[in-house]
């Protein structure tokens, strides 16, 4: 096995750990918040992180056994629309802490996928990692926006 492939596999394993921790965090955050808007966002984030974990697992297996990258076109999970029938309440103080942690987690994911993209020479690998990184950036945008709105 080449040193480049071993390095990529090690990085993918780090990515799997981050995605698992992130999924667990978002699942717990969804269970702990009583706010419907908070539950909706955390549920969506958990589902997308689960898809990332599954795709990274597929990638690891393919790269390890065949030396091939896999295609990833992005997640198809959309954020559920807010309940427009009633007033959307703000998060309570505990949820602000959860959003701060979520921001930190998403930044770690972005850094990892950026690093992997730079180290990957395979065009399919670069495309896959860029898509994953773009999705993490979108998560960060949404979580940061909600956090900023609640801090104001």
Structural domains of the chain, count? 1
Answer yes or no: are the C-beta atoms of 11 and 115 closer than 8 Å: yes
CA–CA distance, 2 with 65 (Å, rounded to integer): 13
pTM for the complete prediction?
0.73
Three-class SS state of 136: helix
Question: Tens of pLDDT along 17-31?
Answer: 989 998 998 999 888
In the chain the first and final C-alpha atoms are separated, in Å, by 53
Answer yes or no: are the C-beta atoms of 26 and 56 closer than 8 Å: no
Is residue 82 assigned to a domain?
no
Is residue 9 assigned to a domain?
yes
Is residue 113 assigned to a domain?
yes
Other CB atoms within 10 A of residue 30 CB: 18
Tokens of 35: 């706010």
Question: Tens of pLDDT along 85-138?
Answer: 333 334 444 677 788 888 988 898 899 889 888 888 888 888 888 888 999 999
């Amino acid at each position: 096995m080449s040193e480049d492939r071993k390095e990529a596999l090690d990085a993918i394993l780090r990515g799997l750990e981050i995605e698992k921790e992130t999924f667990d965090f978002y699942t717990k955050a969804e269970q702990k918040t009583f706010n419907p808007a908070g539950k909706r966002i955390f549920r969506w984030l958990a589902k997308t992180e689960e898809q990332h974990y599954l795709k990274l697992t597929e990638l690891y297996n393919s790269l390890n056994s065949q030396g091939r990258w896999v295609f990833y076109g992005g997640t198809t999970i959309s954020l559920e629309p807010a309940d427009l029938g009633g007033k959307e309440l703000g998060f309570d103080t505990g949820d602000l802490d959860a959003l701060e942690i979520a921001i930190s987690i998403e930044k770690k994911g972005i850094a990892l996928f950026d690093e992997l993209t730079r180290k990957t020479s395979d065009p399919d690998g670069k495309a896959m990692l860029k898509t994953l990184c773009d999705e993490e950036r979108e998560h960060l945008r949404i979580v940061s926006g909600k956090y900023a709105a609640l801090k104001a």
